[in-house]
Structure formats: C-alpha cells, structure tokens
Amino acid sequence: MKFGAVVAALGVVAAVAGAAPVWAAPPSCFPNKATVAFETSDAAVAICTTDSGFRYKGHALNKDTDIEVPAIAENRDGGGVNYVAKNQGYTYTVWNSKRLVIIGPHDEVVSDETGT
C-alpha cells in the first residue's frame, strides 16, 4: 500500500482531485523553517521547526491527501538525526538523508522511499 492510500485510510484531512496534482516543492513550513524537505515518487515531505518542536507534513502525490502531526528528533547511532511522527497506529520516520519509511499498525513496512 502506498502513502496516499495509508493517509486516506487513516481518515485524516483528504481531498481527491480528478487529476494527479503537480507539486513544485514539498509542503510549506511557512512561517517556520523546514529542517528537511524532499519529494519521493509518491509523497512530498517536510519536517518543520516550530517554537514548540517539530512537525511532520506529508502530501500524497497520487491521492492529493495531506497529514500534519507533531514529530520528535532522535539521534542515530553513528551520527545524524531522524524525525519520527505517529498518527493512528502509523509511524512516519524521516531521515535528513531524504528517506521516508512508513510503518503500519502491525509493524509492516507500508512504504520505504528515498527522495530527491
């Protein structure tokens, strides 16, 4: 199952258009700063820095659906940081190396993509 199907299944804010949307960039963090932002073949993702921490913003390109939830930063062994957001049993992990992994409520890998 791809990211868009997961977001739609979660019952989060969703809008389906007749044609696939065209995105020039990942979701905006305005007025805050994007810590990580990239696009994969199925999703556009941004980790936004806010006064209270981080927010995960995701947009499923093929379904025109959006999700925005709080995220936390985790230090990785060997250096680097990844960002983790959870919503309705799903875990969204974003690496600053532009990788997005979505794990479903039964610990199954729903999506594992590298962005540009």
Where are the chain's structural domains?
Answer: 33-114
CB 98 within 8 A of CB 36: yes
Distance CA 111, CA 101 (A): 6
- For residue range 11-51, list pLDDT tens digits in order: 333 333 333 344 445 688 888 889 999 999 999 999 999 99
pLDDT interval class at 91 (50, 70, 90): very high
Phi-psi region of 79 (alpha: psi -120 to 50; beta: other; left: phi over 0): left
CB 33 within 8 A of CB 53: no
User: Is this structure's pTM higher than 0.75?
Assistant: no
